[in-house]
Amino acid sequence: MYDTIIRAGRLGNGQLVDIAIKNGKIAALGSLPESTETKQTLTLAGQVHVSAGWIDGHTHCYPASPIYCDEPDKVGVASGVTTVIDAGSTGADDVDDFQQIAAGCKTRVHALLNISRIGLLRQNELANPADIDPALAQAAIRRHPSFIVGIKARMSGSVVGESGLQPLRVAKQIQRDNGNLPLMVHVGNTPPDLDEIVALLGDGDLLTHCFNGKPNRILTPAGELRQAVREAMQRGLLLDIGHGGASFSFEVAELAIRQGILPHTISSDIYCKNRIKGPVYSLAHVMSKFLSIGMTLEQVLACVTHQAADALRLPDKGHLEVGADADLTLFQVASDPILFADTEAATRHGDRQLLPLAALVGGELVLTHYGKSHHAFCV
C-alpha cells in the first residue's frame, strides 16, 4: 500500500501522470490502476500541474541577518518551493546558528557559505582580507557537510573594496580544498570587471545576476555575448538569474534569449523586502516573467528542478523518477493578464502566471495561500 497517490497531474509537456509515494520517496510513476491501494489520494484531474519540487538556488533567508533576512518557510513551502539555498548570508562565524534554525523548518534548507567569516554582517564583507579565513571556512564545511552545499563570493566594487580579485582567488582555493564544491559568484558594479572575474571561473561555477542591466553585464554594448563569458561557458560556467531588487533587466534577458543564451538556473535572490514590496514577490513570479519573454514552460521548470539540483549537487532532488525524494510542487498556469516589472523600471505584459498550490516535502503536503483558497484538487 502506498502512502499517497497523485492522480492525473499534468506535466510541463502537457502529458498526464500518476505518482505514487511511499516512505517519503517516489515509488511509482505512470498510469496506475484505479484499484491500487493507498492511504491518501490527491485528485488533480488534469487541472493541476505537477513537477519535481522547485529549488530556489539563490535566496537570503537567515532570519538573524542584519541586512537581508527572511524566514525559510515563507520563501519555501509557503510559496510552493521545496528546497531553498541561502546564498552567502552566513559565514563561518554564524552558519552554526543558521543550521539549527533550518533544521526546524518544513522546507529543505541549505547554505552557500560566504567566504567571509562574518557573512552579510555588513555590505563590504570581502573588503578586509582578515575576514577571509580558508581554515575557518573549511572547518565550517566539515561541521555541516549536508547543510553547506557550496560557497559564495560577492565580486562587486562595493563588496570587495580595494581587495580586487583576491577574494575570488581565495574562493577558488577554498573550492579546491573542499572537494570542488559549487561556487556561486555575484557580479555587480565594477571593479573588478566581469572579464577578469569570468577568466577565473569554469566547470560548474555559477555566475549569478547573469541578466543584470548594469554596465558590468554579460552582453556588450552591441548586445552580443562578451567573448570572455563565452569562453567561460565553454569551460562549463553556468548562468544563474538571481533576480533580486537590482539585478534583472528584461532588455538584457530578451537579447540573450533571442541568441539562445538561456539561464541554467532561475533563482529569486529573495528576502523580506523584495518579497513583500516586489519586484520579486516569489520564485513563481520570477519564473512567470520568463514565460512572458520567450522561454517555454518546460524550459522554465528545468531551471528550478533537475538543472538546479544537478548544479548544486542535490542528490535525489529535482527529478521525477522512482527512488527520488517525494519533493513535488503542484501548481496552475493561470491565463490572466499581468504586468511584470524588472529592476530597471521596465515592464512587460504577460498572459500567463504560475500559481503554486502546494508543496510536498518527503511526501508531506503543505498548502500555499493559493492552494487553501482555490480548492483546485481533492484530497
Q: Which helix (H) or strand (E) holds 361?
A: strand 353-361
Is 209 marked within a binding site?
Answer: yes
pLDDT-based confidence at residue 376 (cuts at 50, 70, 90): confident
Superfamily, domain 2-51+323-336+346-374: Urease, subunit C, domain 1 (2.30.40.10)
pLDDT at 151 over 70: yes
pLDDT at 339 over 80: yes
Q: Could you tell me what percent of the chain has a pLDDT over 90?
A: 98
* Domain limits, CATH 2.30.40.10, in the chain: 2-51+323-336+346-374
pLDDT, tens digit, 9 for 90 and up, residues 280-316:
999 999 999 999 999 999 999 999 999 999 999 999 9
The pairing of strands 108-114 and 148-155 is parallel
Is 289 marked within a binding site?
Answer: no
Is 152 marked within a binding site?
Answer: yes
CA–CA gap between residue 323 and residue 316 (Å, rounded): 7
The pairing of strands 364-367 and 353-361 is antiparallel
pLDDT, tens digit, 9 for 90 and up, residues 186-229:
999 999 999 999 999 999 999 999 999 999 999 999 999 999 99
pLDDT, tens digit, 9 for 90 and up, residues 347-368:
999 999 999 999 999 999 999 9
* Domain limits, CATH 3.20.20.140, in the chain: 53-312
Residue 134, C-beta contacts closer than 8 angstroms, at least 6 positions apart: 170, 173, 174, 177
Is 273 marked within a binding site?
Answer: no
DSSP state for residue 119 in the 8-state scheme: -
pLDDT-based confidence at residue 377 (cuts at 50, 70, 90): confident
Angle at CA of residue 72, ends 70 and 73, nearest 5°: 115
- CATH number of the structural domain 53-312: 3.20.20.140
pLDDT at 375 over 70: no
CA–CA gap between residue 61 and residue 69 (Å, rounded): 5
DSSP state for residue 53 in the 8-state scheme: P
Is 186 marked within a binding site?
Answer: yes
* pTM tops 0.85, yes or no: yes
CA–CA gap between residue 229 and residue 79 (Å, rounded): 33
Is 375 marked within a binding site?
Answer: no
